[in-house]
Structure formats: C-alpha cells, structure tokens
Amino acid sequence: MKDQFGNEMAVEVKQEGNRIIKTIIYTLEEGKSTLRGQFKKLNNDDGCAFPNRLSCNGEVGCSRCKFMKCISVGNWQCTFKK
C-alpha cells in the first residue's frame, strides 16, 4: 500500500479492550533517510546538500529543508551551492 506521496506503508489495526489501535509502518527506500513528502525535491541528488532525502522536507519533525527559500506564495527556490 502507498500513501498520498508514494511512500510504501503498511497499516495494522488491533483492538485492546475498548480501544482500537491503528499503527502505520513506513518502509524507507534503500540509501534514503526520509520519506517523500509534501515538498518535492527541487534539485537532483547531485545538486542537493542532502542526497539521502527524497524530498525538500527536513528530518522528522521539521517542515522544510534549511536551504529552501520562499520567492513568492507557492514559489520556492533551493539556495544550496556546491
């Protein structure tokens, strides 16, 4: 099963007493440290500060990569320079 961004996932649902517990398990792609996310990757891996990421999302709990700059509403630019 895949989520809305194309990440492989599995869902487990179980009942314990009067509670239903739903667990979502994501599988990372080989060599990658993050999932695909809301913010698509702006550069290819060769031009990216974080080639092990699948998107311009930051690590878990972060919103965007530190190199993303808002040019105008909905228009982003990667400011990383090799």
In degrees and rounded to multiples of 5, residue 23 shows phi and psi of -115, 130
In a domain, 64, yes or no: yes
In a domain, 2, yes or no: no
Average pLDDT of span 20-35: 93
Average pLDDT of span 32-46: 86
Average pLDDT of span 8-33: 95
pLDDT at res. 7: 93
Containing 26, the helix (H) or strand (E) segment is strand 19-26
In a domain, 51, yes or no: yes
Q: Would you say 56 and 39 are in contact if contact means Cβ atoms under 8 Å apart?
A: yes
In a domain, 31, yes or no: yes
Domain range for residue 67?
A: 9-78
In a domain, 62, yes or no: yes
pLDDT at res. 72: 92
Report the predicted TM-score, pTM, of the whole model to 2 decimal places: 0.69
Query: Total structural domains in the chain?
Result: 1
The lowest-confidence range among 2-6, 22-26, 63-67 is 63-67
Average pLDDT of span 15-35: 94
In a domain, 14, yes or no: yes
- Alpha helices (H) in the chain, listed in sequence order: none
In a domain, 67, yes or no: yes
